[in-house]
Amino acid sequence: DTGVSQNPRHKITKRGQNVTFRCDPISEHNRLYWYRQTLGQGPEFLTYFQNEAQLEKSRLLSDRFSAERPKGSFSTLEIQRTEQGDSAMYLCASSTRDRVSTEAFFGQGTRLTVV
Amino acid sequence: GESVGLHLPTLSVQEGDNSIINCAYSNSASDYFIWYKQESGKGPQFIIDIRSNMDKRQGQRVTVLLNKTVKHLSLQIAATQPGDSAVYFCAENITGRRALTFGSGTRLQVQP
């Protein structure tokens, strides 16, 4: 499978706990995005990496959220002191600067439930 | 994007009919648009894209139309099949931004 891979697929955590999600983009895709999607809504942009540099962050990304892409390949998204409002699907997408279009390929997401 | 809560607009069509899903965008600076299909429990899947210098683009069984005058985008699916049942989102890329901005989705239900 050469698509975008996200782990875990599902995560249930207690309020106040920290969680970390991982995204493995398509090989050689230097652009990586994190989005959050709540039920019935379209995905909302969280943050963007070009190689290992985090170049853009949304206002949605509070201080409890941190994302890294240390080697310009896989990325992690950590949420500290989770709150019930963090329950959502967290989507990762990747794209390549070599494409004329900016289409992004999405992974299947990590569904987070905070209880 | 617009908030529609848990109640997505729904388009119900008969198998074999053509489907038209509409989307309005608000930012005149948007120069690139994409339609995504999302099945339950899965991430969005790219269907077709169009740049703002085009009015129409065709793919396999799908056509996207762009009307910049009224900031309207539509997705036409020919000979709709049960496998087309999903939620469809339009997304726009605003010049100078890296991220896509998604609109509210439309649920397509194909009746056999």
pLDDT at B3 over 50: no
Residue A27 is given by DSSP the state T
Dihedral sign (CA B98, B54, B26, B7) = negative
Mean pLDDT over the full length of chain B:
89
pLDDT at B41 over 90: no
CA distance B65 to B96: 23
Q: Which among A6, A48, A105 is the nearest to B46, CB-wise?
A: A105
The pLDDT, as a whole number, for residue A1 is: 53
Q: Which among B1, B4, B93 is the nearest to A102, CB-wise?
A: B93
Identify whether the C-beta of residue A95 lies closer than 8 Å to the C-beta of residue A4: no
Give B-chain residues touching A102 at CB under 8 angstroms.
32, 93, 98, 100
B5 confidence band (pLDDT: 50, 70, 90): very low
* Closest CA of chain B from A41, distance in Å: 6
Rounded to 5 degrees, φ, ψ at B82 are -55, -30
Give A-chain residues touching B32 at CB under 8 angstroms.
101-102
* Closest CA of chain A from B40, distance in Å: 10
The pLDDT, as a whole number, for residue B4 is: 32
The pLDDT, as a whole number, for residue B75 is: 97
What is the residue-level pLDDT of chain A in tens, covering all 115 positions?
A: 579 999 999 999 999 999 999 999 998 889 999 999 998 899 999 999 999 999 999 988 899 999 999 988 999 999 999 999 999 999 999 988 655 456 788 999 999 999 9
Q: How does pLDDT run across B17-28, given as a tens digit for each residue?
A: 999 999 999 888
CA distance B39 to B22: 18
A66, A46, A42: which is closest to A56 by C-alpha? A46
* Closest CA of chain A from B8, distance in Å: 6
Least confident of A48-57, B29-38, B69-78, B89-98: B89-98
Q: Which among B3, B5, B42 is the nearest to A108, CB-wise?
A: B42
Letter for the amino acid at B34? I
